[in-house]
Amino acid sequence: MKKVLASTGIGNATVDTVLPATTVTPGETVEASVQITGGTAEQVVEEVRLALETRAKTADGYTDVGIARFTLAESVTIEPETDERYPADIDIPYQTLVTLGSTRVWIETELNIDLAVDPEDTDHLEVEPTPRLRAVFDALEELGFSFRAADCEYDPYGRYTDGRQFVQEFEFRPQSGSFVGNADEVELVARTDAKGLTVFVEVYKRSGMLSELAETDEWVTRTTTENTDVTTISERLRSLIEERV
């Protein structure tokens, strides 16, 4: 009877992932610990899985999407009322989204138990920008732009990434400086790896109604940086934006 109840979630095993800190940066490795506590009956866990997830905006609302997935252990027998601990090195991929605006990122740990309710644990993360991306944000601030919003958008064609079907957009608006009155908004999409940062820049400028209807009031280009020199990045962004406005 205990096994029957456990299969419905009553007296089931539980899982808890313990992180040394919840603030991370893409590219780093987090040393975590996964604790599984047995329930009232012996259970066989087919897989102990960890997934780094976020949510993407679609035409029908938001949907959860996976950034990365890991299998920590397989075919584990959990005895009743016992504790099992498993160390886990969780690599935070460079393409992990930054938790700005409405963007959320979390680690979900799941025990895959055949013919039973799968126990889960969710740990939300604060993901900070990489030094290169932070330098881009600082450069835009130098140019008089202020951060407005960030969101994860569904991108079925993988336009800005290598096949991944979602992308994070950062929106900035001019608050001071020479772009006030000339540019409505600048949107950024960042593609990061260990070698550098590619930033796709979309500029929306003030224009007449006919231009807006013809979709000629926006323009996309890209720039790449391998350093964190704010002045150099600022000059490059200024040149790109001035080409449009």
Per residue in 150-170, pLDDT (tens digit) is 999 887 777 777 667 889 999
Phi-psi region of 126 (alpha: psi -120 to 50; beta: other; left: phi over 0): beta
Domains of the chain, each with CATH number or no CATH: 2-127 (2.60.40.640), 131-244 (no CATH)
**Residues 192 and 94 sit within 8 Å (Cβ to Cβ):** yes
- Tell me the pLDDT of the chain averaged across its residues: 86
Nearest Cα to 170, choosing from 216, 122, 136, 123? 136
Looking at residue 3, its pLDDT comes to: 46
Whether the CB-CB separation of 87 and 70 falls below 8 Å is answered with no
H or E stretch covering 209? helix 209-213
The pLDDT score that the predictor gives to residue 48 is 94
Residue appearing with tokens 């940086």: 225
Least Cα distance to 76 among 65, 67, 85 occurs for 85
Q: Which residues of the chain have pLDDT under 50?
A: 1-10, 208-216
* Residue 39 confidence (pLDDT): 81
The beta strand positions in the chain, using DSSP E, are 14-18, 23-24, 29-37, 43-58, 61-78, 83-91, 105-113, 120-127, 145-154, 166-174, 183-192, 197-205, 218-225
pLDDT, tens digit (0-9, with 9 covering 90-100), for 162-202: 667 889 999 999 999 999 988 899 999 999 888 899 999 99
pLDDT at 116: 63
Cβ neighbours of 76 (radius 10 Å): 18
The C-alpha atoms of residue 147 and residue 202 are separated, in whole angstroms, by 15
User: Is-above-0.75 flag for pTM?
Assistant: yes
